Amino acid sequence: MGCLEGKTALVTGGSRGIGAAVVRTLAAQGARVVFSFRGAQDAADALVAEIAVAGVSAVAVRADVSDSAAIASLFAACDAAFGPAPNLDILVNNAGIGSDGQDASLRSGSEELFERMMAVNAKGPYLVTQAALPRLRDGGRVVNIGSISGKVSQPFAAGYAMSKRALQSLTFSTATEAGRRGITCNLIAPGAVATDFIAAVRARPGFDEGTARATPMGRMGQPDDIAGAVLMLCREEARWVTGNIIEASGGVAL
Ligand code: NDP
């Protein structure tokens, strides 16, 4: 029997990459999962089918986290799947975007890209958390997926770093506001993880090798590495751990 048997979870951006690994990991521990995605219906459907084979139910909902109407429909789907509130044990704010190869520098990055990153990476988790709090059961968990970029300055990524810094503030505010209910909130800050998210930089010759060399643990992160850290925070044993920035980076920022 898994450690999340009888629990429910909402994961944003669960169709691919880190989010999909989180969905698989929570479901493997027995949690029922609703996850959102933005556009890739095929990937979402494939993940639901994969999890069903293991005998656990998952529901995929197309919902852009920067759109409050879409968030309302995401939570309507949660209520339909999990029953009347309070009905949620775990929220993972994972959906996020980077510059995807566009110019994101302070010098010449576009206002449009800046606003999009702030909308998806900061406003989205704010709105999702606001809607989730009344649904979270006492003793629940909120895990935000930030970035090492929120801590370490990286060139040409000012808007992304600012959006992930905002997520750190949301983490502290959520931990403070929800603490009396036994709800914890922590942020996991990954270093580079091999997903589509960093496909543009990985296309540069030597990027993977350079990242491995710069990482004390000698390799690039994999989605499962981050999902394992999420699971650690969702376990009952982590009930007193709140308001932290936890790096899951193989030590790259040391
Ligand atoms: P991917 O690009 O591989 O996957 C992103 C996921 O988020 C997809 O499921 C995508 O849905 C969904 N998504 C994107 N935008 C939205 C939106 N507006 N509304 C709802 N869902 C959305 O990214 P990763 O898995 O690599 O990244 C996940 C998180 O980890 C992000 O917050 C990112 O900032 C963070 N991170 C990633 C690092 C890395 O190196 N990969 C490093 C540090 C942090 P769809 O498939 O429909 O597009």
What is the pTM (predicted TM-score) of this model? 0.98
> Is 79 domain-assigned?
yes
**What's the 194 CA to ligand 1 centre distance in angstroms?**
12
pLDDT of residue 156: 75
* Residues within a 6 A CB radius of ligand 1: 12-19, 36-40, 43, 64-66, 94-97, 120, 145, 147, 190, 192-193, 195-198
Return all residues near 22 (Cβ < 8 A) that are at least 6 apart.
11, 14, 92, 94, 226, 227, 230
> Is 2 domain-assigned?
no
Domain holding 202, by residue range, is 8-244
Work out the percent of the chain whose per-residue pLDDT is above 90. Answer: 89
pLDDT of residue 137: 98
Please check the confidence at residue 87 and state whether its pLDDT lies above 80. yes
Instruction: Specify the number of domains making up the chain.
Output: 1
Q: In the structure encoding, which two tokens stand for residue 31, read together? A: 């949690």
Peptide bond into 86 cis (omega under 30): yes
**Ligand 1, atom nearest to 197 Cα:** 2
Confidence tier at 171 by pLDDT (50, 70, 90): very high
> Is 84 domain-assigned?
yes
> Is 253 domain-assigned?
no
Return all residues near 205 (Cβ < 8 A) that are at least 6 apart.
none
> Is 195 domain-assigned?
yes
Q: What is the mean pLDDT of residues 85-113?
A: 94
> Is 170 domain-assigned?
yes
**Ligand 1, atom nearest to 149 Cα:** 43
126 is catalytic: no
CATH number of the CATH domain containing 149: 3.40.50.720
Contact 146, 98 (CB under 8 A): no
Q: How many CA atoms lie within 13 A of 221 on its CB side?
A: 27
